[in-house]
Structure 1
């Protein structure tokens, strides 16, 4: 029976990672983005999405008015807690707000004046919800507390917040393989006769089994597990809730969260007919086209390119090869649909404007999500969609790295 690491061990690993990220990775990112002071303000039950990635596992929420401040100036790097003292935060942050009888924001403003930064970055963004966590009320309060000279220095932390969210350390990249392997192990069992009885089991029941198994392991799914059917004579490209039959082409879409990292995967399964021992060649050939498009997209992932550029070049190459393709890759990490380089959206294959203009960086992770459509003669020339999604890493060798084998396989059920 599959099992997960104990909560105690998970928290220890996540918190050690946070400590390293804060004091080793973040100073480099601040220098890269040209930001010397970053303020993150939020209140309990209205937590900034970035704040959630910067607190130890058992802190869980903001406390009244929480405030983290990062300084990377002439005196080096500092990470400060300008909220209420907390023994867990103290393992990572220096306590900056020491006299709680004084006004919190006035004390923050005085600290900022003393630091005299060139920029004061805050989490506001037109492009990214993850990087837009500062409420208007708190922005107004901060603005009112700052001296006039410092108000003019306020700027969006979007580039820095995005880099913090998307950047993976070597340890995190290694840990991601464990996360993804567990997710795939669950889904491999879901697409088996242990779970599916043709003529009896519905796609909804497979979804429920996946959700229950994730829950049994003490984990969560960041979106509801999804299973659909394509079959000969069935209109459309994915029907949900139906009873699974022999000869059906199944498709799942599942994402778990483990060790603080999200997975995302889509793969196909085929329900063998009574006289079959393997997946028919005509379906294998359809997946081969999707695999070819995966290879094209992987080759077009070049450091410094924007998501829109990768989208355009990938779809142009697919068209040249006669592949009917769609591409909608997204960053993944602390969040499932994370911040970073977005390569197309389901309904925006022509490009996503400024949203898709963030450049590709090394040591980042993505859900390589796409599909191709093929006409299947054996299904009376029916158009069949072959979806695929793999959690991948873009590493310093300039390659898109798959974290688990088997992308070229349709599960034989």
Structure 2
């Protein structure tokens, strides 16, 4: 992430603190090369060896308390207005600063709902509480989840532009896969081709190489988060691929589906075409309904119920997730009311959040039909970032 965008996100954090009426937000870290709080890339941009606090206040003051040997790095970056160095003790300048600001609420990075808001380790939490013990401020601690989730979710124009570029580049690779697919190649062959192209273009991967891309051919494929196998593509197979790149600090995440024609076929069998149509239409139904203020579970209901109504089993995952600096980003998601998703299905969606929409269904005897598109929320609806796949790709 560029320093320009980091500074933009710090300014955005000030606005969110005012919106949420939280006086101070403290990101407390140490040895971030070993164990990094996820928010560091977004609001700091550099690593920290010694105990450090990166503090953003709703009055607009931003202060970093860092070890003396790293002070110059943070002065040069210009992200924080005030840089306070220390040599022997972090505690004294930190407690002095908190007392000077006298906040009513201090947000720190813990959360039972969002891993991206849970970057403070338990040991560092205990240490922070010990520093504040007896000051009264230890009783003014709140979770930073309601700061971090909107900060990660509400994309700026610059962020959206980068994410559009990432999706465009990803779709170009999918087009190359369309030209490459043929019977006799294995799932691993397709994956190796994609990896070679991606690395040749200088892009990173949105997630681990073992499962990015994930390629599936034919009936009874592996689970959605499994890696490619030696299974060969055959005529009459549905093929799908889940793939994304890491581009200029942001991720893409898309899926496409192909059908390999049998000898004598000029179009897909009715069962295959129906499965594709149901997936395509369920995505459009959600795109027509999604807007700021609705909940993710309401969107999941639309697609899930439509797929079940058409005679297919429900898909074994959420309908979609946020995308950003991480491939699974933000707080709210287009999730069902399952215990494992916590409060994420019930949070209201916000303008400028970016979501995937990715239902799936099995087509007996052929494989799985699935698509994954990306949309961002506008003031009163959404716009596709990806160019939606409207027709089944025939090979």
Instruction: With the length of structure 2 as denominator, give the TM-score of the two structures.
Output: 0.87
Match of 1:330 in 2: 321
Match of 2:347 in 1: 358
Among residues 195, 198, 205, which one is paired with 2:183 in the alignment? 198
1:392 aligns with 2:375: yes
Give the 3 Å change call, closer, same or farther, for CA 350–293 of structure 1 in structure 2. farther
| Rounded Cα–Cα distance in structure 2 between residues aligned with 1:353 and 1:42 | 26
| Rounded Cα–Cα distance in structure 2 between residues aligned with 1:209 and 1:318 | 33
Tell whether the 8 Å contact from 1:308 to 1:351 is kept in structure 2 after alignment.
no
Give the 3 Å change call, closer, same or farther, for CA 106–136 of structure 1 in structure 2. farther
Tell whether the 8 Å contact from 1:293 to 1:325 is kept in structure 2 after alignment.
no
Match of 1:378 in 2: none
Match of 2:279 in 1: 290
Tell whether the 8 Å contact from 1:300 to 1:314 is kept in structure 2 after alignment.
no
Instruction: With the length of structure 1 as denominator, give the TM-score of the two structures.
Output: 0.83
Among residues 135, 143, 147, which one is paired with 1:160 in the alignment? 147
Q: How does 1:8-407 map to 2 (within 5 A)?
A: 14-23=2-11, 25-44=12-31, 45-56=34-45, 59=46, 61-73=47-59, 77-83=60-66, 84-87=70-73, 90-98=77-85, 100-146=86-132, 147-193=134-180, 196-199=181-184, 201-221=185-205, 222-223=207-208, 224-230=212-218, 234-235=219-220, 240-273=229-262, 275-276=264-265, 279=268, 283-316=272-305, 319=308, 324-326=313-315, 327-344=318-335, 352-373=341-362, 382=365, 384-396=367-379, 398-407=380-389
Question: Which stretch has the larger CA shift, 263-272 or 88-97?
Answer: 88-97
Tell whether the 8 Å contact from 1:392 to 1:403 is kept in structure 2 after alignment.
yes
Structure 1 runs not aligned, ≥5 long: 1-10, 376-381
Count of residues in Structure 1 that have an aligned counterpart in Structure 2: 378
C-alpha root-mean-square deviation of aligned residues, in Å?
Answer: 2.6
CA deviation after TM superposition for structure 1 residue 209, in Å: 1.7
| Rounded Cα–Cα distance in structure 2 between residues aligned with 1:240 and 1:400 | 36
CA deviation after TM superposition for structure 1 residue 228, in Å: 0.6
SS at match of 1:246: coil
For residues 27-48 of structure 1, give each alpha carbon's deviation from its aligned partner in whole angstroms, at most 9, with x where no partner exists.
2211222212000011221110
SS at match of 1:97: strand
CA deviation after TM superposition for structure 1 residue 144, in Å: 1.5
CA deviation after TM superposition for structure 1 residue 54, in Å: 1.9
Give the 3 Å change call, closer, same or farther, for CA 71–236 of structure 1 in structure 2. closer
| Rounded Cα–Cα distance in structure 2 between residues aligned with 1:124 and 1:316 | 35
Match of 1:5 in 2: none
SS at match of 2:358: strand
| Rounded Cα–Cα distance in structure 2 between residues aligned with 1:386 and 1:42 | 44
Tell whether the 8 Å contact from 2:291 to 2:378 is kept in structure 1 after alignment.
no
SS at match of 2:115: coil
Match of 2:394 in 1: 412
Tell whether the 8 Å contact from 1:47 to 1:62 is kept in structure 2 after alignment.
no
| Rounded Cα–Cα distance in structure 1 between residues aligned with 2:255 and 2:302 | 23
CA deviation after TM superposition for structure 1 residue 91, in Å: 1.8
CA deviation after TM superposition for structure 1 residue 169, in Å: 0.6
| Rounded Cα–Cα distance in structure 2 between residues aligned with 1:105 and 1:361 | 38
| Rounded Cα–Cα distance in structure 1 between residues aligned with 2:4 and 2:56 | 18
